[in-house]
């Protein structure tokens, strides 16, 4: 029987994170704006349909060299007002074109970025007042935000708390000073500790830390210290991501060389040791890349079978429509994806001239819808019943994982074993017909481990 290290080495291949299916590199049937609006109208036509909102704030004051997000780097805060005007104009355009938008229950709202707390207190208040005005907000909504502890003030967190925000995600990455220097993110432990404590004192009941393994100059001992410091603060959730080195896409990653990165074997050990420490500390492994305390709603959703996954990652609520607002934001009506223009000035100009900023998207065909449902079920529950017409093909594709006891079959029921959870992304590729028919023509996915 192979050791955990040997298994990780064997299955450490490029694989999607499956926040959508088809994954973005395989989008092909682009909707125009009118087709997209029709999709929203159809999705929200039912009286009991529900809504999630994602608001993208792209601005950061400094560039983190590891970052793969869509960001705009500037210390000139005069950019705030015109950007918010465009985002709110976009939302009003949607409300005009889709009257049901204001009537349907808003269950989720997420502020992402960039750095949402780049915005001033007055602009955060203005944004939330404008967005929530005349919306049908759920009696138990989940409002969440991402923050950079270096750029976050207590007063900002207090304002958002008053609007119903209770879940907060802190960008941490690593506590080692040398790693922080190389990724241009100097953030002392005490700073993260303070924002964690302030958040909890204000009533945020779910605190998440984002950590990354595979960063330049990370070592086994250094990673252990980062995990130990993380466990000392006991965040409710931990997102533990593999660093994706894609300098051909993100030029900032050229600030360090591949020689600075842990070797494949070391990177795999960074993951294996950290995962073991999380589990021994009482965290529950949730799907891909996530861990949560048993008391957290994410663990409860996984246990009850109500866990969901979309462009916001794992969520505890399922809604009919995810509407993304702002530059590069992605929306999802289940049968169609839609992404906004990715450059801030172009986005603002398109909103002012054309009312919407359609950049690209994908209209799912019948096969896409079937495979999407299968991958979603596998990625949230760890098991799925594979249709007879593709069963033989999927079993053959995943035969190596079966031999290595990472998965098991009971008839057409595919299940991950306890050992197999770290290889969930690999198992999902067996159901990804688009990826399997056409191998990526360029390096578009990060390694699975």
Please tell me the pTM assigned to this model: 0.93
For residues 32 and 446, the answer to whether their CB atoms sit within 8 Å is no
* Residue in the structure block whose two tokens are 């125009």: 32
Half-sphere exposure of residue 346: CA atoms within 13 angstroms, side-chain side: 10
Tell me, what's the pLDDT at 444?
46
CA–CA separation, 9 and 104 (whole Å):
47
**Other CB atoms within 10 A of residue 412 CB:** 14
Pairing of strands 105-113, 50-57: parallel
- CA distances (Å), 265 to each of 14, 175, 221, 277, in order? 16, 22, 15, 18
Binding residues: 54, 60, 64, 66-68, 113-115, 146, 173, 185, 210, 244, 330
Which tokens go with 214? 């595979």
DSSP-based three-state secondary structure for 172: strand
Binding residues for S-adenosyl-L-methionine: 54, 66-68, 113-115, 146, 173, 185, 210, 244, 330
Pairing of strands 165-173, 206-213: parallel
Tell me, what's the pLDDT at 247?
58
Which residues touch 191 (CB under 8 Å, ≥6 apart)?
149, 150
Binding residues for [4Fe-4S] cluster: 60, 64, 67
Q: Which residues pair with 433 in a beta bridge?
A: none
Query: For each of the chain's 449 residues, which pLDDT tens digit applies?
Result: 777 778 878 887 778 889 999 999 999 999 999 999 999 999 999 999 999 999 999 999 998 887 777 788 999 999 999 999 999 999 999 999 999 999 999 999 999 999 999 999 999 999 999 999 999 999 999 999 999 999 999 999 999 999 999 999 999 999 999 999 999 999 999 999 999 999 999 999 999 999 999 999 999 999 999 999 999 999 999 999 998 765 545 555 556 677 888 888 898 899 999 999 999 999 999 999 999 999 999 999 999 999 999 988 899 989 999 999 999 999 999 999 999 999 999 999 999 998 999 999 999 999 999 999 999 999 999 999 999 999 999 999 999 999 999 999 999 999 999 999 989 999 999 999 999 887 644 344 556 66
> In the chain, how long is the greatest CA-to-CA distance?
62
């Amino acid at each position: 029987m192979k050791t955990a290290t040997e298994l990780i080495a064997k299955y450490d291949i490029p694989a999607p994170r499956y926040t959508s299916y088809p994954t973005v590199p395989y989008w092909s049937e682009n909707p125009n704006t009118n087709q997209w609006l029709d999709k929203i109208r159809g999705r929200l036509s039912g009286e009991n349909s529900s809504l999630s909102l994602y608001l993208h704030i792209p601005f950061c004051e400094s560039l983190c060299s590891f970052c793969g997000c869509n960001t705009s780097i500037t210390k000139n805060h005069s950019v705030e007002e015109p950007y918010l005007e465009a985002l709110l104009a976009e939302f009003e355009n949607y409300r005009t074109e889709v009257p049901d938008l204001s009537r349907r229950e808003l269950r989720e709202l997420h502020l992402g970025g960039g750095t949402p707390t780049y915005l001033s207190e007055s602009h955060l208040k203005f944004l939330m007042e404008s967005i929530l005005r005349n919306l049908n907000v759920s009696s138990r909504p989940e409002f969440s935000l991402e923050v950079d502890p270096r750029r976050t003030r207590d007063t900002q967190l207090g304002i958002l708390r008053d609007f119903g925000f209770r879940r907060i995600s802190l960008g941490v990455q690593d506590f080692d000073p040398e790693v922080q220097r190389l990724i241009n993110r100097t953030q002392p432990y005490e700073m993260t500790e303070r924002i964690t404590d302030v958040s909890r004192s204000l009533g945020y009941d779910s605190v998440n830390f984002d950590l990354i393994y595979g960063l330049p100059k990370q070592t086994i001992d250094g990673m252990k210290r980062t995990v130990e410091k993380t466990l000392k603060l006991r965040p409710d959730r931990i997102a533990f991501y593999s660093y994706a080195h894609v300098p051909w896409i993100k030029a900032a990653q050229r600030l360090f060389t591949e020689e600075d990165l842990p070797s494949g074997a070391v990177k795999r050990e960074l993951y294996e040791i950290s995962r073991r420490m999380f589990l021994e500390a009482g965290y529950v492994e949730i799907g891909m890349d996530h861990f949560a305390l048993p008391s957290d709603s994410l663990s409860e959703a996984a246990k009850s079978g109500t866990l969901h996954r979309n462009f916001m990652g794992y969520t505890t609520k399922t809604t009919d429509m995810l509407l993304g607002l702002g530059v590069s934001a992605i929306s999802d009506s289940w049968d169609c994806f839609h992404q906004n223009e990715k450059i801030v000035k172009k986005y603002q100009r398109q909103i002012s001239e054309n009312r919407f900023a359609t950049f690209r998207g994908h209209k799912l065909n019948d096969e896409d819808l079937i495979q999407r449902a299968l991958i979603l079920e596998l990625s949230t529950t760890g098991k799925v019943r594979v249709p007879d017409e593709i069963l033989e093909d999927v079993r053959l594709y995943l035969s190596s994982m079966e031999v290595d006891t990472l998965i098991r079959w009971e008839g057409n029921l595919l299940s991950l074993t306890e050992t197999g959870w770290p290889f969930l992304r690999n198992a999902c590729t067996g159901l990804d017909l688009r990826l399997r028919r056409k191998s990526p023509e360029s390096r578009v996915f990060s390694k699975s481990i």
